[in-house]
Amino acid sequence: MTATIVDVPFIKFSRIQLRKPWHHLPYQWFNTFAPFCCRNGIIGQNQLIVPVFPVGFYSFFFYLSHRNLLIGEEKAMNRLFMRVIGVSLLVCGVLRAQELKPIYVTIRIDDIFLRESPIIPQEVDGFVEMCESHSAKVMLAVIPHRLVEDQNKNGEMVKALKRFVKRGHMIAMHSYKHQCSQCGNTAHEYNCSTDSITLPFELEARELAEGKQWLEAAIGKVVASYVCAGTDDPLHPQTLGIVKNLGFRWIADNKIHLPDFRDTLSFAPSGADYTWNIQDSAYTPMLEKAKADFVNAVAKGNYFSFVANDHFTRKNYNNGIVLKWTAEFLAFIDSFPHVAVHYVTIDDLKEEWSPQRP
Ligand SMILES: [Zn+2]
Ligand SMILES: [Zn+2]
């Protein structure tokens, strides 16, 4: 005879394996009170029994409410406990899921591929692969005019873009050539701060339409997000009218901190750039700043974004410092308590944010 103590919520049962028919006799009272728990009128090989009467009395009421669980001998008991455990895990899982606050994280690299760069090779594969190792997607803001410049000699830029799109990353359009036609400055394109003018509507409309066509032909996919160059105003009425007319849906906006929807266009915050021209001495201070910003974002809402820039994201910029920095920051995000991190692109966010549309 073997006995095992099994914990149930309000009582302890001894499960006794009965090997001979007469072993059943002391427990005949049990049959009297609960005949329904014996299959075919006899007590099975393994029954739930209670050797002490008061405990048995208690258990009788337990049987009344759980009779089906006692009929099928040990298998039924196992099923009972599996169910109890399963339901408990489910309940715990639901509670846990409710406790975790979702936070959507976007990562963008601007200026793919920087023309004025001495850093070779021209690539962001290392950065993108590092992000992939954290299950993170990347938005690549591409200057379409680079497709007709040396950056795309032998079609290597197109090949790179297709490679990333195939793996679920997103391409946004980043202005047209990232250089002002009025003064030649590369820090703006259509809102000339040198001469305090806005470049002609026809020029901007023609160039942005052409850039979108080039980019979409290169990746074989609609490009729906637009990122202004440098100090250009993403909310300039002329630019907004043109990008809306061209079918863009998302505008990166460095002036807002939350997603916003106006006039059928969606405005997504750009996020800070922590690794611009980063040197070794700035590694730790910028990491601390980024961590503090993330903590703040979690406290305030459910969205966090940050930006990096080609060519700092290349493997050969300062011994891959931006790759190491970003990997350390993503590890911090991944292990952040009480949040469920979703690395997404702006295109992905369309679904999550759509209920907020007016
Ligand atoms: Zn200018
Ligand atoms: Zn740029």
Distance in Å, CA 237 to ligand 1 centroid: 18
What pLDDT is attached to residue 42?
A: 34
What pLDDT is attached to residue 223?
A: 96
Give the least confident one: 55-59, 206-210, 268-272, 340-344: 55-59
CA angle 116, 121, 123 (to 5 degrees): 85
pLDDT band at 22 (very low <50, low <70, confident <90, very high): very low
Helix (H, G, I), strand (E, B) or coil at 82: helix
Written as one letter, the residue type at 36 is F
Q: What mean pLDDT is predicted for residues 106-131?
A: 95
Does 79 score more than 50 pLDDT?
A: yes
Ligand nearest to the CA of 188: 1
Helix (H, G, I), strand (E, B) or coil at 108: strand
Which CATH number is 101-356 given? 3.20.20.370
What pLDDT is attached to residue 83?
A: 74
What pLDDT is attached to residue 28?
A: 46
Distance in Å, CA 188 to ligand 1 centroid: 6
Ligand nearest to the CA of 194: 1
Dist CA 16 CA 26 (whole Å): 12
Q: Are 329 and 290 contacting, i.e. CB atoms less than 8 angstroms apart?
A: yes
Does 17 score more than 50 pLDDT?
A: no
Distance in Å, CA 273 to ligand 1 centroid: 23
Q: What mean pLDDT is predicted for residues 198-211?
A: 98
Q: 12-17 and 46-49: which strand pairing? A: antiparallel
What pLDDT is attached to residue 111?
A: 96
* Location of each CATH 3.20.20.370 domain in the chain: 101-356
Helix (H, G, I), strand (E, B) or coil at 265: strand
Higher local confidence (pLDDT), 106 or 270: 106
Question: Over the chain, what is the mean pLDDT?
Answer: 80
* Helix ranges (DSSP H) in the chain: 28-33, 53-71, 73-99, 125-132, 156-166, 201-219, 237-245, 283-300, 321-334, 346-353
What pLDDT is attached to residue 323?
A: 98
Ligand nearest to the CA of 189: 1
Q: 225-227 and 260-262: which strand pairing? A: unpaired
| DSSP-assigned letters across all residues of 138-198 | -EEEE-GGGGGSGGGGGGHHHHHHHHHHHTT-EEEEE-SSSS-TTT--SS-SSEETTTTEE
Distance in Å, CA 225 to ligand 2 centroid: 14
- Terminal CA-CA length for the chain: 71
What pLDDT is attached to residue 82?
A: 72
Instruction: Map tokens 């070779």 to a residue.
Output: 120
Ligand nearest to the CA of 116: 2
What pLDDT is attached to residue 336?
A: 96
Distance in Å, CA 110 to ligand 2 centroid: 5
Distance in Å, CA 230 to ligand 2 centroid: 5
Q: Which two tokens stand for residue 36?
A: 């329904």
Dist CA 107 CA 104 (whole Å): 10
Dist CA 196 CA 180 (whole Å): 12
45-67, pLDDT tens digit by residue?
A: 333 333 344 445 555 665 566 55
User: What kind and span of H or E run contains 251?
Assistant: strand 250-253
Distance in Å, CA 295 to ligand 2 centroid: 27
Distance in Å, CA 107 to ligand 2 centroid: 15
Q: What percent of the chain has pLDDT over 70?
A: 70
Distance in Å, CA 177 to ligand 2 centroid: 10
Distance in Å, CA 190 to ligand 1 centroid: 7
CA angle 227, 229, 234 (to 5 degrees): 55
Written as one letter, the residue type at 105 is V
Does 23 score more than 90 pLDDT?
A: no
Distance in Å, CA 231 to ligand 2 centroid: 9
What pLDDT is attached to residue 252?
A: 87
Distance in Å, CA 146 to ligand 2 centroid: 12
Cis peptide before 164 (omega within 30 of 0): no
What pLDDT is attached to residue 149?
A: 96
Does 255 score more than 80 pLDDT?
A: no
Ligand nearest to the CA of 270: 2
Distance in Å, CA 191 to ligand 1 centroid: 7
Which phi and psi angles does 249 have, rounded to 5°? -110, -30
pLDDT band at 114 (very low <50, low <70, confident <90, very high): very high
Q: Are 201 and 238 contacting, i.e. CB atoms less than 8 angstroms apart?
A: yes
Distance in Å, CA 133 to ligand 2 centroid: 26
Distance in Å, CA 331 to ligand 2 centroid: 27
- CA-wise closest residue to 93 among 349, 340, 330, 341: 340
pLDDT band at 77 (very low <50, low <70, confident <90, very high): low
Q: Which two tokens stand for residue 208?
A: 């942005």
**In sequence order, which residues have a C-beta less than 8 Å from that of residue 136 and are 6 or more positions away?**
105, 107, 330, 343
161-174, pLDDT tens digit by residue?
A: 999 999 999 999 99
pLDDT band at 97 (very low <50, low <70, confident <90, very high): low
Which phi and psi angles does 19 have, rounded to 5°? -100, -30
What is the number of residues in the chain?
358
Most confident of 29-33, 82-86, 93-97: 82-86
